[in-house]
């Protein structure tokens, strides 16, 4: 019988591991982030992807060379698409550096930190910068890695699926 016990114990361990792997990051950990209180960003908690809103998520970093010119393109989108919920997300923990970058590059929408990578992992972001557009049901309708021109972003937001 030891082999049967070993088999059952192994099966239970495998099942527990499988269940733990399926649980992953909870929706609560990825549904809202704290934003920084800096020019253009209100501070406090903000929903990452509110249902019934078209959403544009911008994953970026202060050390990212294309992220600086991306800010110019995103300012234009923010002006031309005021109904779009925009949120810029960085995984950097150095809030002073993030605030300095935001002020220097004239950010005018909420900026949040995701130092534990919960949101980055939820949206499978592996490159910086990455832009993701979500439709009103939070389905991803567009993704772009690298510098994106405002016209390219606008085309994605104008798409009937966005």
Q: Any idea where the domains of the chain sit in the sequence?
A: 26-158
More confident residue, 112 or 9: 112
Which residues are CB-neighbours of 82 under 8 A, at least 6 positions away?
Answer: none
User: What's the CATH code, domain 26-158?
Assistant: 3.40.30.10
Mean pLDDT, range 120-149, rounded to an integer: 96
For residues 139 and 66, the answer to whether their CB atoms sit within 8 Å is no
Q: Kindly give the pairing relationship between strand 32-38 and strand 41-47.
A: antiparallel
For residues 55 and 138, the answer to whether their CB atoms sit within 8 Å is yes
pLDDT tens digits, one per residue of 30-82: 588 877 777 777 677 888 888 889 999 999 999 999 999 999 999 999 999 99
């Amino acid at each position: 019988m030891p082999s049967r016990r070993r088999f059952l114990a192994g099966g239970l361990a495998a099942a527990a591991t499988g269940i733990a792997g399926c649980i992953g990051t909870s929706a609560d950990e990825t549904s809202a982030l704290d934003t920084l209180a800096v020019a253009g960003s209100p501070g406090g908690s903000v929903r990452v992807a509110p249902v019934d809103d078209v959403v544009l998520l911008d994953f970026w970093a202060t050390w990212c060379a294309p992220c600086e010119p991306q800010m110019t393109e995103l300012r234009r989108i923010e002006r031309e698409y005021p109904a779009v919920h925009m949120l810029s997300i960085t995984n950097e923990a150095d809030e002073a550096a993030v605030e300095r970058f935001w002020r220097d590059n004239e950010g005018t929408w909420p900026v949040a930190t995701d130092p534990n990578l919960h949101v980055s992992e939820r949206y499978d972001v592996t490159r910086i910068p990455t832009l993701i557009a979500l439709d009103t049901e939070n389905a991803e309708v567009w993704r772009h890695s690298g510098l994106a021109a405002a016209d390219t972003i606008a085309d994605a937001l104008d798409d009937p699926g966005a």
